[in-house]
Amino acid sequence: MPPSDPDCLVIGAGPAGLAAAHALVNTGVGSILVVDRDETPGGLPQYCRHLGFGWGYTHRLETGPAFTRRLLGAIQHPSLRLLARTTATAIRPGPAVDLLGPECGVITLHPRAVIVATGIRERPRAARLVPGSRPERGVMTTGQLQQMVARGVPVPGRRLAVVGTEHVAFSVLLTARHAGQRVVAMVEPDERVASYAALAAIVRHAARIPIHVGTRVVNILGGRQVEGIEIDGPSGPARIPCDSVVFSGDFIPDSVLAQASGIAIDPRTRGPVVDQHGRTDMPGVFAAGNVLRAVESSGFSAIEGARVGTCVAAYLGGSATAWCAASRPVEAAPDFDYVVPQRWTTDDGRLPAIPFSLRVRTTGAPIPIAVKIGDRVVWSDAARRRRPHRRIGIPQGPIARAAGDATCIEVCTTL
């Protein structure tokens, strides 16, 4: 049966969308529709069989599929309908949303609120300007590898090279084991491993996998199938024989839908601009999870989704009336890569706020952080070395208390 207009339409059934749906169910919202374009709901974690998902939200360390089952189990309720294989193709003011899928056909719904939770995607090899031949088999992203392994699709050969060293790159090692593959090298263009030094030490010394830092892939070798990669770094050029090469990290928000729908996009995050309650600049449309910025963990995304779900319930109940127009900008100095949320609304102190995510662009000299409202420093943190792949948290209390008179909230590197 085609769906009728719900109170809230959630687009994307990953951790953020499912946790938002759970909050909507818990707060008694009358009708909720969750759609996902994938064959099955669950987002990225459903394809990652290794441990490490949900921490922060469930206080358990589970595999991706176990975390997905837990999220799906929590939303079984008569007020909620879940449609997989259903893509949202446009959001218009109203809000009105166009959906396309085998169960609903082509349909326009008029929900009272929308939550955009469309997650992230990895940039493929072509977008990373890696030279060399274009083998038909063996060049993939982490997400593609995870999906192949989860769906039982054979991964070519037995030797795998990984490009990138952020947290997700290390999950390839576990996935490779499931697939009967051996990781023969990790290659990192930056001078340092992006993930934890302890993790890198275990991989180097216990697993005996070489990690080449300050090194670029300058060529991919092979015809039909990858035969190796050529790298260039501090030890000079070298050739690593391998059967597959996995490009890891380099995530960007999957904000195509939001962008094409005219929702304001932050050029720094490439995701929708939101206030601390997840409100975009289109009335009735909220956003949560990694679509806001690449990339936070599944537990963090679920917490964010749950908070935004609670705010949507308040909006539907009429207790949250202001929209983003009534908010002030949160501006981060150029030393930072981005800050989320990008706006702060002062009138909804009772509603939960999404946690701040602040990141630096590169590892440089130690910097202090100060949050200024007018000439007043309302929060600061001593100078220390910041790493691009680590989230810098900012407490919301001091901002909430002082934001009343502000025209702008500044995140600076000077006290």
Residues near ligand FAD (CB under 6 A) are: 11-17, 35-38, 43-45, 48, 52-53, 87-88, 117-120, 142-143, 146, 168, 171, 254, 257, 289-290, 296-299, 301
Retrieve residue 313's tokens: 């319930």
Shortest Cβ distance from residue 340 to ligand FAD (Å)?
A: 12
Cβ proximity to ligand FAD: between 3 and 12 the closer is: 12
Cβ proximity to ligand FAD: between 215 and 298 the closer is: 298
Shortest Cβ distance from residue 293 to ligand FAD (Å)?
A: 10
Shortest Cβ distance from residue 294 to ligand FAD (Å)?
A: 9
Cβ proximity to ligand FAD: between 144 and 225 the closer is: 144
Cβ proximity to ligand FAD: between 152 and 234 the closer is: 152
Cβ proximity to ligand FAD: between 247 and 323 the closer is: 247
Retrieve residue 325's tokens: 């127009």
Shortest Cβ distance from residue 103 to ligand FAD (Å)?
A: 13
Cβ proximity to ligand FAD: between 71 and 242 the closer is: 71
Cβ-based neighbours of 20, under 8 Å, separated by 6 or more: 10, 115, 117, 288, 305, 306, 308, 309, 312
Retrieve residue 217's tokens: 């892939």
Whether the CB-CB separation of 9 and 35 falls below 8 Å is answered with yes
390 phi and psi, to 5 degrees?
A: -110, 130
- The torsion of the CA quartet 331, 333, 339, 345, rounded to 10 degrees, works out to -20
Q: Is 205 helix (H, G, I), strand (E, B) or coil?
A: helix
Instruction: Sort strands 113-116 and 8-11 into parallel, antiparallel or unpaired.
Output: parallel
Shortest Cβ distance from residue 301 to ligand FAD (Å)?
A: 4
Sign of dihedral through CA atoms 193, 194, 197, 198?
negative
Q: What is the rounded CA–CA span in Å between residue 210 and residue 186?
A: 6
Shortest Cβ distance from residue 172 to ligand FAD (Å)?
A: 7
Q: What is the rounded CA–CA span in Å between residue 54 and residue 113?
A: 26
Cβ proximity to ligand FAD: between 254 and 275 the closer is: 254
Shortest Cβ distance from residue 249 to ligand FAD (Å)?
A: 9
> For every residue of 275-303, which 3-state class applies, written as one string?
CCCCECCCCCEEECHHHHCCCCCHHHHHH
